[in-house]
């Protein structure tokens, strides 16, 4: 979970939007009255597709599943959100384009778009930090899209595993893996058998450990290379 400089649990801006400087921390603590904090149980809907988006959310802990319901067919998984990520800012004053469901117990902090815009206008440093945050998430999304379009199965699975890591977390920490192999396969455009085989190969070759319900990176450098975040990303099975 993200830490708070002022030790007030409601002040998520300290950890998510402000730097570690004392001045920034003081500014963040002055804004805690604008925030509301909510908790959701696993399986609970946080917001539904088509409802009005009036606030920005910062995910403090847990995982959210983003889905859409096509006119014909079953629910389609669009992606996952993890601790440290923002949701709702890109859809200001418009309906949510997807439904968010808690995969695990979830803890979020919320601020209305009106209040957040005022914060950004009054604090250029915070505005730059928000821009950087969205830039980082855009880069991750672009890598995932590229891998889905042209990369082999190992690159797709590697990107997916990295997307599960909470922002700022230690690579050695285990993080939840709640989706079934079938759900992962549908998200990545692969067969369930292929996903199971790649996970088994990653475990066998010492890249990850994946006990039931969670995953841990054992060789983050190799996983990142496979995902296209470095050179030498071809998978040789060793």
Same domain, 60 and 17: yes
Under the banding of pLDDT at 50, 70 and 90, the label for residue 232 is very low
CA–CA gap between residue 44 and residue 103 (Å, rounded): 8
Same domain, 97 and 22: yes
CA–CA gap between residue 212 and residue 71 (Å, rounded): 34
Poorest-confidence range of 24-33, 56-65, 165-174? 24-33
Q: What is the mean pLDDT of residues 14-25?
A: 52
Same domain, 161 and 124: no
Same domain, 108 and 167: no
Output the pLDDT for position 198: 96
pTM assigned to the model: 0.75
Indicate the number of domains in the chain: 2
Question: Does 237 map to a domain?
Answer: no
Residue after which a domain boundary falls, among 101, 135, 169: 135
Question: Does 61 map to a domain?
Answer: yes
Task: Answer yes or no: are the C-beta atoms of 14 and 4 closer than 8 Å.
Answer: yes
On average, the pLDDT of the chain sits at 79
Same domain, 19 and 103: yes
Question: Does 220 map to a domain?
Answer: yes
Same domain, 125 and 163: no
Same domain, 128 and 172: no
**Is residue 238 over pLDDT 50?**
no
Same domain, 188 and 118: no
Output the pLDDT for position 171: 74
Residue 101: partners with Cβ closer than 8 Å, 6 or more residues away: 43, 44, 45, 46, 64, 65, 67
Task: Answer yes or no: are the C-beta atoms of 157 and 202 closer than 8 Å.
Answer: yes
Output the pLDDT for position 208: 95
- Domain of residue 186 covers 151-226
Same domain, 85 and 18: yes
| CATH number for the domain harbouring residue 166 | 1.10.10.10
Same domain, 85 and 190: no
Question: Does 6 map to a domain?
Answer: no
3-state SS of the chain?
A: CCCCCCCCCCCCHHHHCCCCCHHHHHHHHHCHHHCEEEEECCCCEEECCCCECCEEEEEEECEEEEEECCCCCCCEEEEEEECCCEECCCCCCCECCCEEEECCCEEEEEEEHHHHHHHHHHCHHHHHHHHHHHHHHHHHHHHHHHHHHHCCHHHHHHHHHHHCCCCCCCCCCCEECCCCHHHHHHHHCCCHHHHHHHHHHHHHCCCEECCCCEEEECCHHHHHHHCCCCCCCCCCCC
Q: Give the model confidence (pLDDT) of 148-172 as tens digits.
A: 667 889 989 998 998 888 877 777 7
Higher model confidence: residue 159 or residue 74?
Answer: 159
């Amino acid at each position: 979970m993200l830490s708070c400089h002022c030790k007030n649990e409601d002040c998520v801006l300290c950890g998510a939007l402000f730097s570690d400087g004392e001045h920034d921390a003081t500014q963040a603590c002055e804004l805690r009255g604008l925030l509301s904090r909510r908790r959701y149980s696993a399986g609970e809907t946080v917001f539904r597709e088509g409802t009005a988006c009036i606030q920005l959310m910062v995910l403090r802990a847990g995982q959210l599943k983003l889905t859409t319901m096509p006119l014909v067919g079953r629910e389609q998984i669009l992606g996952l959100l993890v601790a440290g990520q923002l949701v709702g800012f890109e859809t200001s004053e418009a309906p949510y384009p997807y439904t968010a469901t808690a995969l695990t117990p979830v803890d979020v902090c919320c601020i209305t778009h009106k209040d957040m815009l005022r914060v950004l206008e009054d604090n250029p440093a915070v505005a730059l930090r928000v821009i950087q945050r969205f830039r980082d998430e855009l880069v991750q999304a672009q890598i995932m899209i590229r891998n889905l379009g042209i990369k082999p199965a190992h690159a797709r699975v590697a990107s997916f595993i990295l997307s599960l890591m909470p922002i700022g977390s230690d690579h050695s920490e285990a993080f939840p893996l709640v989706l079934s192999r079938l759900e992962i396969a549908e998200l990545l455009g692969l067969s369930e058998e292929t996903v199971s085989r790649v996970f088994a190969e990653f475990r066998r070759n010492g890249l990850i450990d994946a006990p039931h319900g969670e995953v841990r990176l054992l060789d983050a450098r190799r996983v990142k290379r496979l995902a296209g975040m470095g050179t030498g990303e071809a998978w040789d099975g060793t």
